[in-house]
């Protein structure tokens, strides 16, 4: 059993080093920092912060078009959290669900809209942060930490009773489920974004002008759906963890 777990962990570490093409790395001490992911991630974060600052710096009773748009986005994200977590508990989780959704959406759209190939790097090329498995695994692990925290904070040690419900026979399966949740979240997002960028790149090489445009539009739609799926599943996992297992 121990050997099987060790092999699983080693396989997971090997998967985290999956690469397609060449990449730019910065050497900082004993660590290699993925330069492409770092650059585009912070560009996305800066754009989101700028839009948030501009849209909320002058709030009015009669909202402007930009304020209307910001309020619509907030209500949409609140609905995601409310529908999955519940009316009484969702408010404290709106910032996390919103951040996850907006960062993934911004990262996906950055890869689909911006012609990063025009920017020359010493090695590799810029792309969406979410087409790198390390980014999607990190986001998935954040969700795992979030729902563990939510469950323990709400139910205390009674949270761990969920592993032996409805019968102790299901203990191994319930433990395995906690490993499969971040794996499915990360690989679903990574696979879809990487596949979309590869398809657009191939079509651009074959037919440079007309064909890539509808594919890019479809990619924008698919990117938005992936952000929605990731944030909705994250909220659902948090809501599930906060159910009253300790009260049974």
- Is residue 12 in a domain? no
Q: How confident is the model at residue 9 (pLDDT cuts 50, 70, 90)?
A: very low
Give pLDDT, residue 101. Answer: 95
DSSP state of 21: S
Please check whether residue 25 lies inside any domain of the structure. yes
Q: Which SS3 state, helix, strand or coil, does residue 27 take?
A: strand
Task: Tell me what percent of the residues of the chain surpass a pLDDT of 70.
Answer: 78
Which structural domain range is residue 154 located in?
21-247
| Per-residue pLDDT at 180 | 83
For the chain, the domain total comes to: 1
Which of the pair, 205 or 22, is modelled with greater confidence? Answer: 205
Q: Is the pLDDT of residue 86 over 60?
A: yes
Return the exposure string of 204-224: e unless at least 16 CB atoms fall within 10 Å of the residue's CB, then b.
beeeeeeebeebbeebeebbb
Condensed to tens digits (0 to 9), the pLDDT of residues 143-172 reads 999 989 988 888 888 778 777 777 777 788
Instruction: Check pLDDT > 60 for residue 13.
Output: no
Q: How far apart are CA 124 and CA 24, in angstroms?
A: 6
CA distance 23 to 55: 36
d(CA 21, CA 30): 23
Q: How far is it, in rounded angstroms, from Cα 82 to Cα 84?
A: 6
Query: What CA–CA distance (Å, rounded) separates 49 from 63?
Result: 20
Determine the pLDDT at residue 120.
Answer: 66
Reported confidence tier of residue 2, pLDDT bands at 50, 70, 90: very low
- pLDDT for 119: 67
Tokens for 144, please give them. Answer: 């795992």
CA dist list (Å): 94 to 10, 83, 90, 153? 35, 11, 6, 17
Cβ(124)–Cβ(22) below 8 Å:
yes
In this structure, what DSSP letter does residue 156 have? Answer: G
Give the closest residue to 12 by CA, choosing from 185, 152, 134.
134
CA nearest neighbour of 90 among 144, 148, 154: 154
So what's the pLDDT on residue 212? Answer: 63
How much is the pLDDT for 31?
74
Q: Which of 102-111, 133-142, 235-244 has the lowest mean pLDDT?
A: 235-244
- 162 in any annotated domain: yes
* 3-state SS, residue 81: helix
**pLDDT for residue 49:** 93
- Does residue 141 sit within a domain? yes
* H/E run at residue 110: helix 94-113
Establish if 130 belongs to a structural domain: yes
Mean pLDDT of 28-52: 84
Any domain includes 10: no
Q: Which residue(s) pair with 31 in the sheet?
A: 28
Which pLDDT tens digit goes with each residue over 185-206? 888 888 888 777 777 667 666 7
For 119-138, write each residue's pLDDT tens digit. Answer: 666 666 777 888 888 889 99
- Summarize pLDDT for 220-229 with one digit per residue, the tens: 888 899 899 9
How confident is the prediction for the chain on average, in pLDDT?
Answer: 79
Residue where the block lists tokens 């910032």: 95
Q: If residue 61 lies in a helix (H) or strand (E), which one and from where to where?
A: none
């Amino acid at each position: 059993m121990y050997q099987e777990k060790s092999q699983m962990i080693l396989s997971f570490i090997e998967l985290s080093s999956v690469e397609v093409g060449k990449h730019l790395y910065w050497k900082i001490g004993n660590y290699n920092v993925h330069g492409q992911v770092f650059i585009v991630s912070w560009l996305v974060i800066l754009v989101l912060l700028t839009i948030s600052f501009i849209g909320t710096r002058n709030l009015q009773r009669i909202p402007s078009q930009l304020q209307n748009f910001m309020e619509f986005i907030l209500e949409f994200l609140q609905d995601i959290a409310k529908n999955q977590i519940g009316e009484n508990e969702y408010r404290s989780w709106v910032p996390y669900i919103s951040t996850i959704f907006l960062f993934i959406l911004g990262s996906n759209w950055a890869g689909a809209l911006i012609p990063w190939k025009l920017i020359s790097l010493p090695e590799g090329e810029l792309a969406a942060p979410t087409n790198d498995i390390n980014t999607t695994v990190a986001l998935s692990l954040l969700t795992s930490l979030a729902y563990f925290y939510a469950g323990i904070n709400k139910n205390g040690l009674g949270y761990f009773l969920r592993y032996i419900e409805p019968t102790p026979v299901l203990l191994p399966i319930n433990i395995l489920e906690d490993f499969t949740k971040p794996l499915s979240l990360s690989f679903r997002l990574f696979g879809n974004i990487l596949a979309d960028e590869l398809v657009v790149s191939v079509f651009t090489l074959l037919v440079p002008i007309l064909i890539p445009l509808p594919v890019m539009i479809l990619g924008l739609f698919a990117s938005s759906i992936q952000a929605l799926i990731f944030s909705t599943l994250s909220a659902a996992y948090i809501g599930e963890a906060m159910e009253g297992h300790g009260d049974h």
